[in-house]
Copies of this chain bind each other. A is one copy, B any other.
Amino acid sequence: MSIAKADKPIILVTNDDGVTAPGIRNLVESIKDLGTVLVVSPDKPQSGMGHAITIGQPLRMQRVHNFGDDVEAWQTTGTPVDCVKLAVDKLLHRKPDICISGINHGPNHSINVIYSGTMSAAMEAAIEGIPSVGFSLLDHGIDADFSAAQKVARKIVQLVLGMETEKHFLLNVNIPAIPHEMLAGMKVCRQAYAKYDENFDERKDPRGSSYYWLTGEFINMDEKTDTDVWALENNYVSVVPVSIDFTNYKLKNQLDEQWQETL
């Protein structure tokens, strides 16, 4: 990276909707005076890519100029996770001070953290020890109003840059699609237990063979009030701290007693 200034934090920005999405443009605009910004983002939409990485084919990077002259930006042929790896290893040659991902067009609350390319990019950075935040707006529309989300993102980036973060600091932030003055505040939450009730839409091609479109209805199975789904339904910005240790310690303790050395 050629334009880093030593006295300013380096802010790595990525997303999963691709480098031309309004969400990432709004995110960059909201924080670009807070540090030196590097954008590394997929060259096409990558929603639903989860934590996919590209190992069967090589990657390419191309300089782009979508964000004005003061923001260095690259598009890559890879996934959101690939973008973070390329940014750190090939462009920055160091860890940025923060990695932010988004602003996603659509929600990534509850179980969506698992499917989301937005959150996977942020998680990849957190594995590397980079404080990371994924931002999502509860509006899928290409003409969504990002003005409240911009204020929220700026506020949270300022908070994170100003604090001592733990080694693997990762937040999943979702923002209701309402004007900023209607937001009830920010709520630190746990991930709601929710799932999708799949319903493949079966169709016939012109030759009579079946094909299937994945559809599904979101089902919140969690009635408690400390979840991200509850917070969003009540006009709060939801902030879920996310772990990179997936161990189920409760089940580990149970099986420890029953299964140890039973081969």
Contact = CB atoms under 8 A, between A and B. Distances in A.
Interface of A: 45, 47-56, 58-61, 81-82, 85-86, 88-90, 111, 113-115, 120, 123, 127-128, 152, 155, 159, 163, 166, 169-170, 183-191, 193, 195, 198-200, 202-203, 209-214, 237, 239-249, 251-252, 255-256, 258-263
13 contacts: A48-B54, A48-B56, A49-B52, A53-B214, A85-B214, A90-B200, A169-B251, A183-B263, A190-B247, A190-B249, A191-B245, A242-B248, A243-B251
A262 B160 CA distance: 13
Which A-B residue pairs are the 7 nearest by beta carbons? Answer: A50-B51, A185-B261, A241-B251, A243-B248, A241-B248, A50-B50, A58-B211
A171 to B, nearest CB: 8
Given A159-B259, A186-B259, A263-B183, A212 B60 contact: yes
B243 A210 contact: no
Specify the main secondary structure of chain A where it touches its partner: mixed
B47 A55 contact: yes
A152 B263 contact: yes
